[in-house]
Amino acid sequence: MALPLSYSVRNVLARPTRSMMTAAVIALVVVAATLFLGLISSLKRTVAISGDPMNLVVMRKGSDNDGSSQLALEAYQAIRFFDGIARDADDQPLASPELVVQPFLRTRDGGRENVLARGVEPVALQVHDQVRIVEGRMFQPSAGEAIVGRGVASRYADAEVGKELQFGRGRWRVVGVFEADGSAFESEIWVDVRELANDAKRPLPYSGLRLRAATPADLARLEQRIDDDPRYALDAQPEVAYYAKQSESANSLYVLVVGIAVLAGIGAGFGAANTMYASVQARTAEIGTLRALGFSRRSILIAFQVEAVALALLGFVIGAVLSMVLAVVLNTMLGGIAFGAETFTTNVITLRISPSDLVGVLILALLVGVLGGLGPAWRAARLRPIEALRKA
């Protein structure tokens, strides 16, 4: 004879203090795991969507990011006319020479962080076609103007249209804000590439070159031709591959977070088990009565396990709601979450809790409930009716 499901649910409701203590322990683990997993998945998502499958990144051989590369004007002039590069309506090649530097900016709370300033030409908006200006306008070349990504605008002081940013040796008037579907470009400042090179006193004016291929076949041919050209010692790679390498650091963090979540889950499991053991001790007479009425050990084992799972689900719901609220609060208060990039600059990540993050944490919460409740449930099932009633 099996105990009804409502018996386990009513036991959770009948002991609100003890139930909330157990659920609170699990909820704390859920909050920590959800926020960490959400941060890592947000970082990986931000970096992963930054590349365009039709773009090539051209840098000096041996460089692993824009910040450590240099490219001469002669190399740009030669490469931009290679066959296979896409062209705009005026039959100009979609080749964007770019320079990156890492100046300090003041955050809104007074701190200092390195930010990636990218020098570009107007053609960059066609090569990086996910970038779109949502406020103001594009900067005018040689006018001391800048446009800033949405992440920069939300986090740093004076990064607003009409105000001036001071970095390097000059001041740059902000004339526009751009978005890029949440990609890493939103953590950048864009200015005129020649002005930035003069300001930084760079002997070689570019860090690298972004090319848009006309067709997927042209992409592979351009990559091979640039790699094999002996004149400039350059390396070309698809933009998606470039940003995939930038996200590799998030993979090790993911393993670390999973390890921390498992350790926290073990602690929560012991906490849940302790509470459940106390519940078994307090309900000895009830368990003896159930056994005397003919309910099997298996039925009692299942009933206590269902109760533990119900507590885990309650803890998950509380923790998930708190995580969502905390994510909004953190994004609002901090203007996004700062994360160091391989270019030694700051990526501003918008913390988003995805359904996959919640599914992973739900599995963790259920494991905590099942494993934490197994010992107490087994003890309850093994109680003999006469002994249980005598102890009562």
| pLDDT at residue 145, rounded to an integer | 95
- Half-sphere exposure in the Cβ direction for 254 (13 Å, CA): 13
Distances from the Cα of 345 to the Cαs of 67, 99, 282, 292, 359, in angstroms?
Answer: 9, 14, 58, 70, 32
At position 328, the amino acid (one-letter code) is: V
Question: Does residue 114 contact residue 80 with C-beta atoms inside 8 Å?
Answer: no
- State the residue for tokens 């005026």: 90
> What phi and psi, each to the nearest 5 degrees, are found at residue 346?
-105, 125
| Per-residue pLDDT at 2 exceeds 60 | no
DSSP-derived secondary structure for 312-364: HHHHHHHHHHHHHHHHHHHHHHHTSEEEE-TTSSEEEEPP---HHHHHHHHHH
Average pLDDT, the chain: 80
| pLDDT at residue 64, rounded to an integer | 80
More confident call, 354 vs 50: 354
| pLDDT at residue 299, rounded to an integer | 72
Question: Does residue 376 contact residue 57 with C-beta atoms inside 8 Å?
Answer: no
Question: Does residue 170 contact residue 98 with C-beta atoms inside 8 Å?
Answer: no
pLDDT tens track for 252-290: 666 666 676 667 667 666 666 666 666 655 565 565 566
**Average pLDDT over every residue of 164-185:** 89
Question: Does residue 149 contact residue 180 with C-beta atoms inside 8 Å?
Answer: yes
| Per-residue pLDDT at 309 exceeds 90 | no
Distances from the Cα of 126 to the Cαs of 51, 110, 188, in angstroms?
Answer: 14, 35, 17
| pLDDT at residue 258, rounded to an integer | 65
Q: Which of 257, 274, 267, 265 is nearest to 365 (CA)?
A: 265
Q: Report the alpha-carbon distance of residue 288 to residue 384 in Å, rounded.
A: 7
| Per-residue pLDDT at 218 exceeds 60 | yes
pLDDT band at 186 (very low <50, low <70, confident <90, very high): confident
| pLDDT at residue 46, rounded to an integer | 72
More confident call, 292 vs 75: 75
Q: Which of 115, 88, 120 is nearest to 103 (CA)?
A: 115
| pLDDT at residue 254, rounded to an integer | 60
Show the 3-state SS of 40-99. HHHHHHHHHCCCCCCEEEEEECCCCCHHHCCECHHHHHHHCCCCCECECCCCCECEEEEE
| Per-residue pLDDT at 17 exceeds 80 | no
Q: Report the alpha-carbon distance of residue 362 to residue 353 in Å, rounded.
A: 13
3-state secondary structure of 228: helix
Q: Which of 57, 42, 54 is nearest to 243 (CA)?
A: 57
More confident call, 312 vs 60: 60
Distances from the Cα of 9 to the Cαs of 103, 157, 299, 306, 311, in angstroms?
Answer: 59, 53, 15, 8, 9
| pLDDT at residue 102, rounded to an integer | 87
The region of weakest confidence among 71-75, 219-223, 226-230, 303-307 is 303-307
Q: Report the alpha-carbon distance of residue 102 to residue 170 in Å, rounded.
A: 14
| pLDDT at residue 250, rounded to an integer | 57
pLDDT band at 294 (very low <50, low <70, confident <90, very high): low
At position 216, the amino acid (one-letter code) is: P
| Per-residue pLDDT at 334 exceeds 90 | no
In this structure, is the dihedral angle defined by the CA atoms of residues 22, 26, 32 and 38, taken in order, positive or negative? negative
pLDDT band at 178 (very low <50, low <70, confident <90, very high): very high
| pLDDT at residue 322, rounded to an integer | 93
pLDDT band at 191 (very low <50, low <70, confident <90, very high): very high
| Per-residue pLDDT at 349 exceeds 80 | no
**Average pLDDT over every residue of 305-313:** 80
| pLDDT at residue 205, rounded to an integer | 85
pLDDT tens track for 80-128: 989 999 999 889 999 999 999 888 888 887 788 888 899 999 999 999 9
**Average pLDDT over every residue of 332-342:** 67
More confident call, 190 vs 312: 190
Question: Does residue 363 contact residue 334 with C-beta atoms inside 8 Å?
Answer: no
**Average pLDDT over every residue of 225-238:** 90
The region of weakest confidence among 16-20, 25-29, 192-196, 306-310 is 16-20
